[in-house]
């Protein structure tokens, strides 16, 4: 220490640039926040990309399954028609030599089956055919024996009788591939796909069947034509993303059908030729075919299903490739192509929002860090300046003589503010010893507070990041779950065509799913001995409720199919519900214990209805205007609660007269909320049905649903709305009633 009492400043051996305290406090915090924001954005994008891949695969798998089902159903019809006609010929029920009767017989088959042409040609050169020649009307074409291969075309009336002759043309079945190939094969086969002569816009394929006489001698060939434009129309109606496309190829690469509206042929030297996929006018079909050939080399050896992501015309596209075959040898490829952009638009928007939110959080965190640093450093800076002034004044008046500082040296700090404080306090000496200790304590406390604030902000940021990930995952899962459940519910609902043949009954059904998927169930199942109606409601909402509803529907139809095999005088609905509960109970325990389902089962035969099972009150409306309420509380208990419900199930029976009927509904109707949370109610339902009971069941259903919607208004719909109406018409002939159907 100098003899004059001044303080000596000691510099460290290694030199660092002195940094401002604000910079030391702010920079590490900002760097950490930037890193976390970058990580959040990256993970959000990756999760979105994975979700897009999963969604695209699910969509393509579902659509391909629907296309295969359509192909199986559509191409099963012609062989069945040929088999029916061949069997009728063998049994003597159809005389193929009688062209007048045969033509009318073929005409009637066209009214029933979705085909375009039915024909028969003999080895003698005779020919009879009935079908649509492209103008939407059905004609009969005939080549009698010894007419020098000249065919005569006739118009038909509403009963298939020939009217006037429309014209003649030269036609020889012996020159047609469908006839020649079948003679060679001597078994049922498909023809090659071909364009009609004179109608090149019609692309067809023919299922052919050889015909033998009683001595097993080949005498002719039956044929049924299908227009492939029907398949193209079906493909064009499918919704595959926003702009996805589907097309079907032969192994040779020729187009069979597509969802794109383009001619299925090329005109070359005045003749129609099949359209190769590589020459399609559609860029997606053309580009996808070229990309598949580049990947696999040929279509001939491809088997099974394949899913690829290809770059086509500078865009990433998801391609689903699958094979389809039938029993007569058709072997085609079903291809779907969906642009990635169909799915990525929303993901990119979400990613942009995530980035903007992260940048906003970064800006807020940085601003808070700067403010915190200023809040901490400003008092220290003011104290440093004040101490410098005080130290300088003290040095002017006093000399340091305190033994604690004798021989002490001031150490230079790396932080400017602390270095200034160190110099000032050493200069102040003994006079400022106590003040220095107090300031040191304050400084330590401030550093602890800064550290704690930093930790709190880091923890809060980590929590926000985790919540954001969880929210995104849950949103995607819930959306997919609800969508799948809604689709499954709609797919298994009964179609009006299933019970339109019941001439003595008038039935109308309606079901509308709520915003959150519920578990409403109804079914109408005609049988050989009786008609079964079921209605019920699964507790809760979501995927489990939808699955339990599907289980119940499958079990009911399975038990009814088994029950139809047993000949009894009348059905027993109570025993049926006991068996149904036993089927559902174990699955409910696996699905989620605590789930259950209310259900009422009605069986109709011989103008009477048997009711069993616990659900909403069954309403019986009489033609005279009266209404009877059947309380089902004592007719059963919820299914799936306990393994054996035998002691709780009962049944009751009601006679119906012409004009009488029943109305079934779920609580989504009576408990529908309107303004001021008021409920629709059972009495209002009864009043609406009574006003319109004299009208058809479909009109009654429409009036009730319209009234319910009017009651709801803009209020949220919390539960599924289900309504089933059955009316007994005036007696018909025995051939049309349920009991004799």
Quick check: 430 pLDDT over 70? no
Query: In this predicted structure, which of 137-141, 173-177, 283-287, 406-410 has the lowest mean pLDDT?
Result: 406-410
Residue 21 is encoded by which pair of tokens?
Answer: 């305290």
Question: 385 vs 198, 378, 653, CA distance in Å?
Answer: 105, 11, 101
pLDDT tier for residue 301 given thresholds of 50, 70 and 90: confident
Query: In this predicted structure, which of 59-68, 589-598, 708-717 has the lowest mean pLDDT?
Result: 589-598
Quick check: 132 pLDDT over 80? yes
pLDDT tier for residue 150 given thresholds of 50, 70 and 90: confident
Is the model more confident about 583 or about 201? 583
pTM of the model: 0.45
Res 371: pLDDT: 78
Res 468: pLDDT: 78
Identify the top-confidence range among 127-136, 170-179, 462-471, 677-686: 677-686
CB of 690 within 8 A of CB of 706?
no
The pair phi, psi for residue 495, each rounded to 5°, is -95, 145
Which tens digits make up the pLDDT trace of 334-369?
Answer: 999 988 887 766 666 776 777 777 778 778 877 777
Which tens digits make up the pLDDT trace of 517-553?
Answer: 667 889 999 988 889 999 999 887 777 777 888 888 8
**Average pLDDT, rounded, for the chain:** 82
Mean pLDDT of 581-590: 84
- With 0-12 / 13-18 / 19 or more C-beta atoms within 10 angstroms meaning exposed / middle / buried, residue 397 is exposed
Quick check: 278 pLDDT over 60? yes
**CB environment 225-253: b (16+ within 10 A), e (fewer):** bbbbeebbebbeeeebbeebbbbbbbeeb
CB of 573 within 8 A of CB of 611?
yes
Is the model more confident about 50 or about 548? 548
CB of 509 within 8 A of CB of 724?
yes
CA torsion sign, 693 to 696 to 702 to 703? negative
Start-end of H helices in 91-162:
99-112
Question: 344 vs 327, 468, 588, 727, CA distance in Å?
Answer: 41, 19, 38, 51
Res 121: pLDDT: 93
Percentage of the chain exceeding pLDDT 90: 32
Cα–Cα distance between 132 and 223 in angstroms, integer? Answer: 14
Question: Cα 229 from chain centroid?
Answer: 26
Quick check: 399 pLDDT over 60? no
Q: Is 421 helix (H, G, I), strand (E, B) or coil?
A: helix
Cα–Cα distance between 139 and 442 in angstroms, integer? Answer: 106
pLDDT tier for residue 59 given thresholds of 50, 70 and 90: confident
Q: Using CA atoms in the order 30, 34, 40, 41, what is the torsion angle rounded to 10 degrees?
A: 150
Which tens digits make up the pLDDT trace of 462-477?
Answer: 888 888 788 777 667 7
Res 740: pLDDT: 35
Res 299: pLDDT: 87
Which tens digits make up the pLDDT trace of 260-275?
Answer: 888 777 777 767 778 8
Could you say which DSSP state residue 196 is in?
Answer: E
Res 5: pLDDT: 46
Question: 626 vs 342, 389, 622, 631, CA distance in Å?
Answer: 57, 105, 5, 16
Cα–Cα distance between 232 and 234 in angstroms, integer? Answer: 5
């Amino acid at each position: 220490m100098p003899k004059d009492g001044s303080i000596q400043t000691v510099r460290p051996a290694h030199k660092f640039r002195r940094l401002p305290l604000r910079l030391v406090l702010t920079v590490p915090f900002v760097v950490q926040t930037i890193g976390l924001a970058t990580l959040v954005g990256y993970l959000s994008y990756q999760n979105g990309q994975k979700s897009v891949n999963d969604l695209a695969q699910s969509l393509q798998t579902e659509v391909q399954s629907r296309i295969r089902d359509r192909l199986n159903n559509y191409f099963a019809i012609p062989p069945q028609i040929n088999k029916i006609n061949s069997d009728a010929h063998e049994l003597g029920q159809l005389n193929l030599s009688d062209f007048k009767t045969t033509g009318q017989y073929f005409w009637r088959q066209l009214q029933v089956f979705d085909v375009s042409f039915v024909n028969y040609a003999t080895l003698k050169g005779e020919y009879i055919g009935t079908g649509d020649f492209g103008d939407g009307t059905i004609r009969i074409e005939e080549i009698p024996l010894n007419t020098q291969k000249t065919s005569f075309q006739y118009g038909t009336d509403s009963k298939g009788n020939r009217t006037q002759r429309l014209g003649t043309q030269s036609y020889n079945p012996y020159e047609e591939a469908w006839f020649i190939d079948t003679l060679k094969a001597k078994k049922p086969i498909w023809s090659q796909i071909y364009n009609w002569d004179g109608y090149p816009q019609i692309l067809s394929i023919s299922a052919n069947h050889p015909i033998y006489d009683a001595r097993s001698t080949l005498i002719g060939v039956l044929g049924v034509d299908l227009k492939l434009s029907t398949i193209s129309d079906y493909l064009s109606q499918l919704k595959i993303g926003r702009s996805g496309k589907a097309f079907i190829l032969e192994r040779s690469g020729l187009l069979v059908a597509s969802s794109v509206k383009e001619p299925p042929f090329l005109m070359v030297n005045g003749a129609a030729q099949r359209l190769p996929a590589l020459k399609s006018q559609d860029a997606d079909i053309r580009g996808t075919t070229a990309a598949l050939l580049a990947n696999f080399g040929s279509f001939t050896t491809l088997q099974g299903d394949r899913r690829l992501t290809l770059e086509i015309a500078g865009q990433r596209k998801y391609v689903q490739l699958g094979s389809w075959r039938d029993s007569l040898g058709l072997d085609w490829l079903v291809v779907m192509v969906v642009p990635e952009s169909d799915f990525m638009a929303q993901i990119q928007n979400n990613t942009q929002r995530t980035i903007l939110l992260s940048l906003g959080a970064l800006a807020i965190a940085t601003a808070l860090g700067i403010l915190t640093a200023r809040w901490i450093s400003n008092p220290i800076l003011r104290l440093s300046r004040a101490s410098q002034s005080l130290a300088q004044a003290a040095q002017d008046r006093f000399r340091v003589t305190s033994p604690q500082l004798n021989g002490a040296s001031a150490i230079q700090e790396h932080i400017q503010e602390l270095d200034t404080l160190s110099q000032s306090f050493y200069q102040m000496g003994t006079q400022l010893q106590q003040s220095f200790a107090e300031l040191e304590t304050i400084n330590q406390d401030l550093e602890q507070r800064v550290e704690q604030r930093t930790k709190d902000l880091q923890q809060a940021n980590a929590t926000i990041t985790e919540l954001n990930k969880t929210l995104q995952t849950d949103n995607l899962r819930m959306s997919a779950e609800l969508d799948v459940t809604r689709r499954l519910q709609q797919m298994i609902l009964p179609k009006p065509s299933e019970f339109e043949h019941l001439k003595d009954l008038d039935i109308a059904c309606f079901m509308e799913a709520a915003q959150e998927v519920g578990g409403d169930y109804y079914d109408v199942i005609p049988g050989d001995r009786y008609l079964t109606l079921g209605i019920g409601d699964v507790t809760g909402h979501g995927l489990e409720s939808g699955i339990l509803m599907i289980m119940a529907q499958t079990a009911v139809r399975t038990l009814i199919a088994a029950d139809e095999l047993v000949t009894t005088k009348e059905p027993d609905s109570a025993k049926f519900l006991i068996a149904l509960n036993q089927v559902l109970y174990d699955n409910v325990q696996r699905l989620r214990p605590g789930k259950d389902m209310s259900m009422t089962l009605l069986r109709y035969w011989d103008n009477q209805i048997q009711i069993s099972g616990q659900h909403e009150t069954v309403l019986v409306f009489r033609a005279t205007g009266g209404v009877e309420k059947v309380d089902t509380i004592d007719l059963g208990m919820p299914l799936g609660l306990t393994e054996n419900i035998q002691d709780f199930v009962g049944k009751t029976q009601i006679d119906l007269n012409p004009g009488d009927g029943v109305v079934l509904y779920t609580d989504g109707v009576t408990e529908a909320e309107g303004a001021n949370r008021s409920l629709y109610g059972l009495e209002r339902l009864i009043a609406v049905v009574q006003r319109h009971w004299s009208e058809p069941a479909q009109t009654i259903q429409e009036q009730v649903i319209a009234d319910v919607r009017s009651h709801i208004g803009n209020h949220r719909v919390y539960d599924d709305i289900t309504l089933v109406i059955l009316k007994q018409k005036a007696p018909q002939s025995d051939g049309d009633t349920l009991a004799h159907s």
